[in-house]
């Protein structure tokens, strides 16, 4: 299961739009998927969202990293073209690094949900560690199969294990973010503000996230 596509399917289901992972995979027709690709695919189903990022287009320093190098030249042309055409295609993009307080503000009133790109190794679920004894504190996520050489290269280039999660709430009493992980079925996770802030700002995430209104289509309900 592709985490990127799974995160999109999860948020669309929460908004009342049924779309399978298989269907979305067929539509996107890519194996090297960037957040901007997901934004354009999301636009077909749900126009009311904003994509925030600190980087418009591609970063040249990724070209020499093994994870990207096989498709980088092809990806670069596509990704830069999508960013250039976003406005005319009604894909709303804002280039900025939002402070963590804005995440809290969006999520506290339960009127928005956020899909965020984070470093998977920095996710530490409070509920998993307290009750489910989650393995390696990765909250039951999909485990990434990478060779030792790839792992070493990731460390050398400070690359993260990119992973998308769906944030659905914020608890100010405990200072915890509440989120759904596509790697866990029918459950939710919690993470401290400090640890989430580190995961979302890790090298390679480009501070990518998109925020959506949580009212389901034709229903006075919200994502739960």
- E strands, 130-199, are 162-171, 176-180, 189-192
CA distance 170 to 155: 31
Q: Which of 16, 11, 206 has the alpha carbon at shortest distance from 117?
A: 206
Q: Which domains does the chain show, CATH number per domain?
A: 3-213 (3.90.70.10)
Token code pair at residue 40: 């354009």
- Smallest CA-to-CA distance from 28 within 13, 43, 14 is with 43
Crossing angle for the helix pair 100-108 and 193-200, to the nearest 10 degrees: 120
* Global pTM value: 0.81
Note the pLDDT tens digit of each residue in 180-189.
Answer: 998 776 688 9
pLDDT at 148: 37
3-state SS class at 95: strand
Q: What is the pLDDT along the chain (224 residues), one digit of tens a residue?
A: 688 899 999 999 888 888 889 999 999 988 888 899 999 999 999 989 999 999 998 877 666 666 666 788 888 899 999 999 999 999 999 999 989 999 999 999 888 999 999 998 898 888 777 765 443 334 433 333 333 344 334 433 334 467 999 999 999 999 999 999 987 766 889 999 999 999 999 988 999 999 998 865 544 455 55
Q: What is the pLDDT of residues 165-185, one digit of tens each?
A: 999 999 999 999 999 998 776
Can you give the pLDDT at residue 178?
Answer: 95
């Amino acid at each position: 299961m592709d985490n990127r596509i799974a995160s999109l399917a999860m948020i669309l289901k929460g908004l009342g739009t049924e779309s399978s992972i298989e269907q979305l995979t067929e539509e996107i027709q890519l194996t090297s998927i960037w957040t901007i690709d997901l934004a354009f695919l999301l636009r077909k189903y749900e126009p009311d969202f904003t994509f925030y990022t600190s980087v418009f287009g591609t970063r040249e320093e990724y070209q020499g990293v093994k994870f990207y190098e096989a498709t980088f030249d092809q990806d670069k042309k596509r990704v830069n073209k999508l960013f250039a055409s976003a406005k005319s295609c009604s894909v709303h993009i804002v280039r900025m690094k939002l402070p963590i307080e804005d995440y809290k503000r969006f999520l506290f009133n339960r009127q928005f949900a956020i899909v965020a790109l984070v470093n998977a190794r920095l996710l530490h679920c409070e509920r998993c560690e307290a009750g489910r004894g989650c393995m390696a504190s990765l909250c039951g996520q999909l485990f990434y199969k990478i060779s030792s050489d790839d792992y070493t290269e990731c460390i050398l280039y400070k690359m993260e294990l990119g992973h998308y999660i769906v944030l659905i709430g914020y608890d100010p009493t405990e200072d915890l973010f509440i989120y759904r992980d596509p790697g866990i079925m029918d459950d939710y996770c919690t993470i401290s503000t400090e640890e989430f802030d580190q995961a979302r700002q890790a090298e390679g995430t480009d501070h990518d996230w998109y925020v959506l209104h949580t009212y389901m289509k034709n229903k006075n309900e919200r994502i739960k």
